[in-house]
Structure 1
């Protein structure tokens, strides 16, 4: 009998809030977050009007808040965020579902458009995998650019297939809450939309 595997979206599925803004708040503080959003508001409006891509707006936000931050400092703060702040954002029902899959011996991985840096430490604490958007690092500093493609939509399926040979699994479970999760849900044997 082949093993089973479960893929979970992160923001909005496991968490109650988008963690991009939460990680900014944690790193920079409330006042800096709102000042930055005010400065970036023309671009955010264009994004809402679908005139700017998801990847472009994410890079703009990341560059504004994190460009030139030393990589080691960024990673350390992200690990602190996972330990100190993230648990209060996690839905109990989603965490229970992850634990149920693990108890059944299923492999579990988070597949997220959020940065691996602020999701992977939390995943590691549960003993589950993490596939996320990778941030570009140059000269040991965050550039604010995305390395490759934002892990959303079809890219979620691409990244899953790069890491896993799905023919080696009997049942594939997937959980998501947005249109960007639909390709992953359609790939699964059992796809759950807004389950939690």
Structure 2
């Protein structure tokens, strides 16, 4: 059996699902206001004073801190089932489907959130390794439950979840520096 590992954002999608979800979940006006609040954190990240994971967690804190969990999950599920298909790259999705038809184990490994990728993955029969949010007392805590599934964390999650020695050929598909460690695990890596 073969294994096919796919990044999601920029690899299977034509747009960043995080930005699309933020716009969808809070509306245009609040999106703009929240992004203005995020500018200092963005500057710290660009200056490499804070890392990608810290900046991303702060972004989620600004947008969703104390949001009702049921409401958040409903928004994420609706986005996943009714909006994600609109940003899928059809040619790359066909590559994924060819792996499925060829009896490969297919896993999406993404820094995006499980809450809006999982329903889409379930609908398409795809396994998922991704970042998860932490909810407490029925509200979003402002924190991540898991480390951001980016860079080295992608490789760590793959090795934790799978025995790579079981696969005859490992394929990996990615598009950014956050996929480098995942691509290095593959016999055949494709960088878009």
TM over 0.5, shorter chain? yes
Instruction: Map Cα deviations across residues 88-131 of structure 1 (whole Å, 9 max, x no partner).
Output: 11111111111110110111011000111111111111001010
Counterpart selection for 2:173 from 170, 175, 180: 175
- Deviates further, 20-29 or 44-53: 44-53
Counterpart residue number, 1:125: 123
Normalized against structure 1, the TM-score is what?
0.94
2:37/2:62 contact within 8 Å kept: no
Equivalent position to 1:162, from 160, 163, 187: 160
Please state how far the C-alpha of 1:77 moved relative to its aligned partner.
Answer: 1.1
| CA distances 1:112-159 after superposition (whole Å, capped 9, x unpaired) | 001111111111110010100011111122112112311111110111
Cα drift, residue 70 of structure 1:
2.0
Gaps of 5+ in 2: none
Aligned residue in 1 for 2:7: 9
Structure 1: give runs of 5+ residues left out of the alignment.
none
In structure 2, how many angstroms separate the alpha carbons of the residues matched to 1:52 and 1:41?
A: 13
Name the SS for the 2:158 alignment partner.
helix
CA distance in 2, matches of 1:8, 1:154: 15
Of 75, 78, 95 in structure 1, the residue corresponding to residue 76 of structure 2 is: 78
2:36 pairs with 35, 38, 44, which one?
Answer: 38
Runs of 4+ aligned structure 1 residues displaced above 4 Å come to none
TM score, norm. by length of structure 2: 0.96
Residue number among 48, 51, 54 corresponding to 2:52 in the alignment: 54
SS at match of 1:119: helix
Q: Does residue 106 of structure 2 align to residue 108 of structure 1?
A: yes
Q: What value does the CA root-mean-square deviation take over the aligned residues?
A: 1.0
Say which of 64, 87, 91 aligns to 2:62.
Answer: 64
Match of 1:138 among 112, 136, 139: 136
Shift of 1:49: 2.1
Q: Does 1:89 align with 2:78?
A: no
- Is the 8 Å Cα contact of residues 99 and 106 (structure 2) preserved in structure 1? yes
- Equivalenced residue count is 192
Aligned residue in 1 for 2:26: 28
Helix, strand or coil at the partner of 1:23: helix
